[in-house]
């Protein structure tokens, strides 16, 4: 919508008067003024503005008197200023009725672009008044809308399925405890590991680590944590203890350890401390030949 405006000024009342409604091109506006003429009140009169042109004063264009007092002064007018309509009216006793008729009956006809939702001639949309070819075009439009709706619904279903399929990727960023372990397991399977074991679900006697992966090179034990801050030294060293216990259990040194932490999980990843480990923690891991 453009910047055009319609301004109104309903003057305060001071005694009734029956003014002279000036003939106007818009019959409905003239009729509206006649209906309320006996109930108008005013305490100020205006003169038609003038402009200097061709060596003399002449009445300004775009200014249209609507109601004049008995003395000839203007008490109601409309002033067209480029894209603006300024209406000035005396005070009126039935303001609700006056403004209702003005907005519903008069102004939509004078400035229809300012009232795109006016229902003044809504009956023209009734089926009995359809224009030639309009029914066919409306039918074609309906078919397109229905086809569009079906296609959108189908895409929405695929979006839902895709979100459910890859939801574990979001879970990696926000979860903790068993929900995080489940998400990490799904992620590892997605990467191609076929023997990822959730220790709690496997029924193993020793359940210190969260996940295990048997590989051609040996056993990988995984500790998973979701925390609000960053890892403590005890968190980082726990997986080392588990590794040594599995080596003892297997009577072999083919055991590797992996510590996975979803740190500062309440923050977007780009706002987190990366890497989330202190230099000493990284040094200790390197010494023990582990991975974080």
For residue 233, what pLDDT is reported? 82
Region of poorest pLDDT, from 18-22, 91-95, 223-227: 18-22
Count of domains for the chain: 3
- Asked if residue 116 and residue 177 are part of one domain, the reply reads no
Q: How many residues does the chain have?
A: 292
pLDDT in tens, 1-14: 444 454 555 444 34
Residues 92 and 112 in one domain: yes
- Range of the structural domain that residue 135 is part of: 130-165
Residues 54 and 21 in one domain: yes
Share of the chain above pLDDT 70, in %: 85
β-pairing, 20-21 with 6-10?
unpaired
Average pLDDT score over the chain: 84
76 and 39 inside one domain:
yes
For residues 43 and 62, state if they share a domain: yes
Residue 241 and residue 141 in one domain? no
Q: Is residue 1 part of a domain?
A: no
The predicted pLDDT at position 83 comes to 73
Q: Would the pLDDT of 147 be above 50?
A: yes
Question: For residue 40, which of 109, 99, 95, 119 has the smallest C-alpha distance?
Answer: 95
Taking 3-state DSSP, the helix, strand and coil percentages for the chain, each rounded to the nearest 5, stand at 45, 25, 35
Cα distance between residue 220 and residue 140, in whole Å? 63
Q: Are residues 10 and 123 in the same domain?
A: yes
What mean pLDDT do residues 264-292 have? 76
- What pLDDT is stored for residue 203 in this prediction? 63
Same domain, yes or no: 74 and 158: no
pLDDT at 15 over 60: no
Q: Does some domain include residue 36?
A: yes
pLDDT above 80 for 278? no
Q: What are phi and psi of 205, to 5 degrees?
A: -70, -40
Instruction: Give the dihedral sign, CA 166/167/168/170.
Output: positive
Mean pLDDT of 141-169: 97
Q: What is the mean pLDDT of residues 199-227?
A: 86
Lowest mean pLDDT among 111-125, 207-221, 277-291: 277-291
């Amino acid at each position: 919508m453009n910047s055009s405006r319609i301004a109104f000024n309903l003057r305060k009342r001071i005694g009734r008067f029956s003014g002279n409604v000036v003939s106007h091109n818009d019959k409905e506006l003239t009729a509206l003024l006649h209906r309320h003429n006996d109930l108008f009140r005013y305490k100020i009169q205006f003169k038609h503005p003038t402009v200097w042109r061709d060596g003399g004063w002449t009445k300004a264009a775009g200014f249209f008197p609507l109601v004049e007092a008995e003395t000839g002064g203007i008490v109601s007018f409309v002033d067209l200023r480029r894209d603006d309509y300024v209406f000035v009216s005396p005070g009126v006793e039935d303001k609700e009725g006056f403004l209702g008729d003005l907005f519903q009956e008069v102004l939509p006809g004078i400035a229809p672009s300012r009232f795109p939702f006016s229902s003044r001639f809504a009956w023209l949309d009734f089926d009995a008044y359809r224009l030639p070819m309009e029914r066919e075009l409306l039918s074609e439009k309906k078919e397109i809308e229905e086809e569009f709706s079906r296609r959108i619904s189908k895409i929405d279903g695929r979006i839902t399925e895709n979100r459910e399929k890859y939801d574990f990727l979001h879970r990696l960023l926000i979860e903790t405890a068993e929900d995080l372990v489940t998400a990490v397991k799904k992620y590892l399977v997605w990467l191609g590991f076929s023997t990822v074991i959730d220790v709690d679900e496997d029924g193993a006697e020793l359940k210190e680590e969260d996940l295990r992966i048997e590989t051609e090179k040996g056993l990988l034990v995984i500790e998973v944590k979701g925390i609000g801050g960053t890892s403590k030294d005890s968190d980082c060293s726990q997986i080392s203890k588990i590794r040594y216990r599995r080596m003892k259990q297997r009577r072999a040194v083919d055991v590797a350890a992996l510590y996975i932490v979803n740190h500062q999980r309440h923050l977007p990843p780009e706002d987190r401390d990366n890497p989330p480990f202190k230099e000493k923690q990284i040094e200790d891991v390197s010494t023990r030949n582990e991975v974080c």
